[in-house]
Amino acid sequence: MTAPMGIFRGRGVALALIAPALAVVGLFFVAPLVMSGVVAFRGKGGEFTLEHFRKSFDYYTTDLLFTLAIVLLSTLLIGLVAIAIAGYLTLGGHPRTVAVLRWLYRWPLFIPFVVAGQLMRTFLAKNGMLNHVLIGSGLIEPLSAQSLLDWRGIVVAFVWKQAPFVTLLLAGAMAAVESQHIEAARNLGARRLRVLVDIVLPQVRGTLLVGLVLSFVTMLSVLSVPLMINPNSPTMVTVDVAYRISTHGDYPVANALCLLSLALAAIGAVFYLRHAAAQVEGK
Amino acid sequence: MPSYLSIEALTVSYGGPPVLDRVSLDVERGEMVALLGSSGCGKTTLLRAIAGFVIPDSGMILIEGRDIAHLPPEARGTAMMFQSYALWPHMSVADNIGYGLRMRSWKKDAIAERIEEMLKLLQLEGFGSRSVTQLSGGQRQRVALGRALAVSPHVLLLDEPMSNLDYKVRLELRHELRALQQRIGITAVYVTHDREEALTLSDRIAVIDTGRIVQTGAPEEIFHRPTSAFVAGFMGADNALDLILTGDGAFATGAATAGGSRVRAHFRSDAARLAPASAAASTGEDLVLQGIVAQSVYVGQGYRYRVRADGAEVWVHAPERVAEGTPACVVVPRTALLLFPQDSKPA
């Protein structure tokens, strides 16, 4: 009778080992999510209702689209910037430039979103550093200087903050591409840019996708940047959520908006899972 | 007339001590030259310098009289076959072979035609649409060769292309590669550390030791008339002895004998004979070493014996079995001895 007892005891130990992790996920992730769902669909009398969603769409359809557009555009630009930097780090011909770039590009990783937002405010404002430089160098007239603190500012802040993250992942993956693969292509007449497009990128596609999906989801949830750069309508959904709660104490609509954000994030998750499934099949 | 590929006083140092030290080499059109040497001798660096992946400190690399030493790899018209084949896993066999043509802006149907031609040449018909990850080692090697040959390069560069293959496949491909190279008459430089491969594959061999070419010549010449103890050892004459050559043409071993000149003698284990111990002494004809069989190894075609003789250890090949510990003598014909002057006294 010792063997079944042993198995039983083994199972108990296993459960005990994962219990803390399960408890954390359950308490801090699953429970709030379920609560959020419940609140979003519950009327004043406790009945089921779609009223909060109707309200959300009535007031915030523009903001939802604005959010999606900003995040998609940022994701695209992040991809391009990351490919350019990681590509140069992998294929660049000047070791010194590569070393400097490798050292420089990571800095934004260590800067919180709220600080990034503040930096952009001073950088992109009408009297900001960017316009000072442009006017000083004679590129624009002082009168035509305009503030970039609208959707453009948000995009710039997002790309500035997230591109290094994707670059970090991408440069790692590119470094793992066999150097002979690159040499073989150059040997057959491919210039560096062709090597990047034909040989390197196809082999790191998966990593790029994962990095972009993670950035997409991260940017959806950032409050500080839109709040500091562009708090007026149209703005991002996170600002609306904060406004519903802090000004109106309106948790049901805030929760409905959160669930809608979750639906947007799910688009990214679908891409991610598809890629993961394809990888499993590939093996 | 200058050679087709000419390397003149090429020096490469990677910022440290030179990896290649004023190396010069001429390769004629249609010739296959093997760069032979042990690992780390600089042979692969020389190949990579020709391909443009290594920038030389000084010297010239000329193809038909044009210096290409400072051109980027893509502008040189060389094609390299890599040790790991370096086939692109995200492309089909046909896409791999056709890539170089695409870079040369060939028309689609011309590329397709050339790919078919290559597949036929390499006996890979019907493999065009396969993924390269589904191929065996030998097939991958052929695809890599096809990719290099498709662009009709000025010079084909081969970096130990057989080292990842099974022995049997290697033997087959070696003969195929040689026949193919002769048939299409392409100029090729082949890097290897395998002397058998170098001997069977090439028109000429350049033996490289610590960044210098120490001897260049036809395989027979390198094999039979090595000009240095290093080349002799590398070409299989790995029994080495210090001898004293006395005035009357006889040999003596050891350091006791006065007069005569000191030489370093190399000989192959299969050129010597194992004979029963006797009182025979070295003559002008044969070198005779008295000793004891210290070890015997069966090698399929007979035995190899390690014989401790006159303070030295030599390996001898013999067809019959002799017990370890048996006194015996080793007889080396004069003609089988490769003698090199000794620069310095042995320590």
Q: Does residue B28 lie in a domain region?
A: yes
Does B88 reach chain A within 8 Å, measured CB to CB? yes
Q: Are residues B200 and B311 in the same domain?
A: no
Q: Which residue has the higher pLDDT, A212 or B162?
A: A212
Average pLDDT of span B169-196:
90
Angstrom distance (rounded) from CA B155 to CA B273: 45
| Nearest residue to B327 (alpha-carbon basis) of B307, B310, B311, B297 | B307
Q: Are residues A210 and A260 in the same domain?
A: yes
Q: Are residues B223 and B260 in the same domain?
A: no
Query: Is the pLDDT score of B155 beyond 80?
Result: yes
Give the CATH number of the domain where residue B216 resides: 3.40.50.300
pLDDT for B89: 93
Q: Are residues B38 and B129 in the same domain?
A: yes
Angstrom distance (rounded) from CA B24 to CA B7: 5
Query: What range does the domain containing A195 cover?
Result: 54-282
* Chain B nearest CA to A200, separation (Å): 10
Pairing of strands B204-209, B32-36: parallel
Query: What range does the domain containing B134 cover?
Result: 5-234
Does B106 reach chain A within 8 Å, measured CB to CB? no
Query: Is the pLDDT score of B99 beyond 70?
Result: yes
Q: Are residues A61 and A27 in the same domain?
A: no
pLDDT for B279: 63
Half-sphere exposure at residue A133, Cβ-oriented, CA atoms within 13 angstroms: 7
Q: Does residue B124 lie in a domain region?
A: yes
Mark out the alpha helices in chain B (DSSP H runs): 43-51, 93-103, 108-121, 137-150, 167-184, 195-201, 219-224, 229-234
Q: Are residues B165 and B269 in the same domain?
A: no
* Chain B nearest CA to A148, separation (Å): 42
The pTM assigned to this predicted structure is 0.80
Report chain A residues whose CB lies below 8 A from the CB of B75.
189
Query: Is the pLDDT score of B251 beyond 80?
Result: no
Q: Are residues A232 and A113 in the same domain?
A: yes
If one counts the domains in chain A, the total is: 2
pLDDT for A281: 67
Q: Would you call A184 and B88 a contact, using CB atoms and an 8 Å cutoff? A: yes
Does A184 reach chain B within 8 Å, measured CB to CB? yes
Nearest to B86 among A181, A189, A203 (CB): A181
Q: Are residues B90 and B154 in the same domain?
A: yes
Chain A interface test: which of B74, B96, B140, B154 (most A C-beta within 10 Å): B74
**What count of other Cβ atoms lies within 10 Å of the Cβ of residue B77?**
17
Q: Would you call B86 and A191 a contact, using CB atoms and an 8 Å cutoff? A: no
Q: Would you call B90 and A203 a contact, using CB atoms and an 8 Å cutoff? A: yes
Q: Are residues A37 and A167 in the same domain?
A: no
Q: Are residues A245 and A161 in the same domain?
A: yes
Q: Are residues A5 and A77 in the same domain?
A: no
Q: Does residue B346 lie in a domain region?
A: no
- Render pLDDT for A199-252 as a digit per residue (tens, 0 to 9): 999 999 989 999 999 999 999 999 999 999 988 878 999 999 999 999 999 999
Q: Are residues A98 and A123 in the same domain?
A: yes
The answer to whether B5 and B27 have CB atoms below 8 angstroms apart is yes
Chain A interface test: which of B91, B103, B152 (most A C-beta within 10 Å): B103
**Rounded to 5, what percent of chain A is helix, strand, coil?**
80, 0, 20
Query: Is the pLDDT score of A90 beyond 60?
Result: yes
Q: Would you call B73 and A203 a contact, using CB atoms and an 8 Å cutoff? A: no
Q: Would you call B147 and A190 a contact, using CB atoms and an 8 Å cutoff? A: no
Does A202 reach chain B within 8 Å, measured CB to CB? yes
Does A102 reach chain B within 8 Å, measured CB to CB? no
* Chain B nearest CA to A181, separation (Å): 5
Does A186 reach chain B within 8 Å, measured CB to CB? yes
Query: Is the pLDDT score of A87 beyond 50?
Result: yes
pLDDT for B161: 87
Provide the token pair at A15: 């459960």
Strand partners, B190: B34, B158
Residue type, B199: L
The answer to whether B20 and B65 have CB atoms below 8 angstroms apart is no
Report chain B residues whose CB lies below 8 A from the CB of A194.
103
Does B115 reach chain A within 8 Å, measured CB to CB? no
Angstrom distance (rounded) from CA A171 to CA B324: 61
Q: Are residues B223 and B303 in the same domain?
A: no
- Render pLDDT for B196-211 as a digit per residue (tens, 0 to 9): 999 999 999 999 999 9
Q: Are residues B61 and B198 in the same domain?
A: yes
Residue A154's contacts (CB-CB under 8 Å, 6 or more residues apart) are: A70, A74, A225, A226, A229, A230, A236
Rounded to two decimals, the ipTM of the complex is 0.79
The residue among B234, B267, B292 that closes a domain is B234
Q: Which residue has the higher pLDDT, A204 or B310?
A: A204
Q: Would you call B79 and A178 a contact, using CB atoms and an 8 Å cutoff? A: no
* Locus of tokens 């150059």: A186
Strand partners, B296: B305
Nearest to A181 among B73, B88, B103 (CB): B88
Does A199 reach chain B within 8 Å, measured CB to CB? yes
Chain B interface test: which of A91, A178, A183, A188 (most B C-beta within 10 Å): A188
Strand partners, B270: none
Query: Is the pLDDT score of A55 beyond 50?
Result: yes
Q: Are residues A62 and A34 in the same domain?
A: no
Q: Does residue A19 lie in a domain region?
A: yes
* Chain A nearest CA to B50, separation (Å): 11
- Is residue B325 helix, strand or coil? coil
pLDDT for A1: 46
Residue type, B152: S
Q: Does residue B169 lie in a domain region?
A: yes
pLDDT band at B283 (very low <50, low <70, confident <90, very high): low
The answer to whether A262 and A189 have CB atoms below 8 angstroms apart is no
Angstrom distance (rounded) from CA B11 to CA B9: 6
Query: Is the pLDDT score of B12 beyond 70?
Result: yes
**Averaged confidence pLDDT in chain B:** 87
pLDDT band at A6 (very low <50, low <70, confident <90, very high): low
Residue A181, classified by CB atoms within 10 Å of its CB into exposed (0-12), middle (13-18) or buried (19+), is: buried
The answer to whether A166 and A211 have CB atoms below 8 angstroms apart is yes
Q: Are residues B219 and B329 in the same domain?
A: no
pLDDT band at A79 (very low <50, low <70, confident <90, very high): very high
Cite the beta strand spans of chain B per DSSP E.
Answer: 5-12, 20-27, 32-36, 58-63, 66-67, 78-81, 155-159, 187-192, 204-209, 212-217, 239-245, 251-253, 261-267, 273-276, 286-298, 303-309, 312-318, 327-333, 338-341
Q: Does residue B189 lie in a domain region?
A: yes
Does B82 reach chain A within 8 Å, measured CB to CB? yes
Q: Would you call B84 and A178 a contact, using CB atoms and an 8 Å cutoff? A: yes
The residue among B208, B234, B260 that closes a domain is B234
Q: Which residue has the higher pLDDT, A6 or A246?
A: A246
Q: Are residues B217 and B290 in the same domain?
A: no
pLDDT for B28: 94
Give the CATH number of the domain where residue B257 resides: 2.40.50.140
pLDDT band at B265 (very low <50, low <70, confident <90, very high): confident
Report chain B residues whose CB lies below 8 A from the CB of A191.
74
**Percent of chain A whose predicted confidence (pLDDT) is above 70:** 96
Q: Are residues A270 and A176 in the same domain?
A: yes
Q: Are residues B247 and B175 in the same domain?
A: no
pLDDT for A168: 95
Half-sphere exposure at residue B102, Cβ-oriented, CA atoms within 13 angstroms: 16
Does A121 reach chain B within 8 Å, measured CB to CB? no
Q: Does residue A196 lie in a domain region?
A: yes
- Render pLDDT for B109-122 as a digit per residue (tens, 0 to 9): 999 999 999 999 88
Q: Does residue A116 lie in a domain region?
A: yes
Pairing of strands B312-318, B251-253: unpaired
DSSP string, A215-227: HHHHHHT--HHHH
Q: Does residue B209 lie in a domain region?
A: yes
Q: Are residues B212 and B270 in the same domain?
A: no
Q: Does residue B14 lie in a domain region?
A: yes
Query: Is the pLDDT score of B126 beyond 50?
Result: yes
pLDDT band at B16 (very low <50, low <70, confident <90, very high): confident
Q: Are residues A89 and A130 in the same domain?
A: yes
The residue among B179, B208, B234 that closes a domain is B234
Q: Are residues B139 and B245 in the same domain?
A: no
Does A178 reach chain B within 8 Å, measured CB to CB? yes
Q: Would you call B86 and A184 a contact, using CB atoms and an 8 Å cutoff? A: yes
Report chain B residues whose CB lies below 8 A from the CB of A186.
52-53, 72-74
pLDDT band at B56 (very low <50, low <70, confident <90, very high): very high
Query: Is the pLDDT score of B344 beyond 60?
Result: no
CA angle, residues B128, B135, B172, in degrees to nearest 5: 100
pLDDT for B345: 41
If one counts the domains in chain B, the total is: 2
The chain B residue lying nearest A202, using CA atoms, is B90
Q: Are residues A118 and A17 in the same domain?
A: no
Chain B interface test: which of A180, A181, A186, A187 (most B C-beta within 10 Å): A187
Query: Is the pLDDT score of A159 beyond 90?
Result: yes
* Chain A nearest CA to B211, separation (Å): 23
Q: Does residue B347 lie in a domain region?
A: no
Q: Does residue A84 lie in a domain region?
A: yes
Q: Would you call B73 and A181 a contact, using CB atoms and an 8 Å cutoff? A: no
pLDDT band at A282 (very low <50, low <70, confident <90, very high): low
Angstrom distance (rounded) from CA B248 to CA B250: 6
Q: Would you call B103 and A180 a contact, using CB atoms and an 8 Å cutoff? A: no
pLDDT for B291: 87
- Is residue B327 helix, strand or coil? strand
Q: Which residue has the higher pLDDT, A156 or B261?
A: A156
Q: Would you call A199 and B88 a contact, using CB atoms and an 8 Å cutoff? A: yes
Angstrom distance (rounded) from CA B86 to CA B83: 8
Q: Are residues A164 and A87 in the same domain?
A: yes
